[in-house]
Amino acid sequence: MDKEISFEAAMKRLEEIANIIQKNECSLDEGINLYEEGLKLARYCSEKLNGFQERLQQINNGEQ
């Protein structure tokens, strides 16, 4: 992803993409582009969640 967005914004965009694709509200080309964007967002969210989990473990272990 080119610019950093918040986790919440990424999740909201993922929902939007899923709704558009599920409702078939796009052409095949647009759908493929949206799917690609969704994969990037999903990867970004997964990495963020892993980072949050690691941070929480450090906090719980007193390693701030």
The whole-angstrom separation of Cα 36 and Cα 15 is 14
Cα torsion at 30, 34, 36, 42 (round to 10°)? -170
pTM for the model stands at 0.82
User: Confidence band (pLDDT; 50, 70, 90) for 62?
Assistant: confident
* Residue pLDDT, tens place only, 8-61: 999 999 999 999 999 999 999 999 999 999 999 999 999 999 999 999 999 999
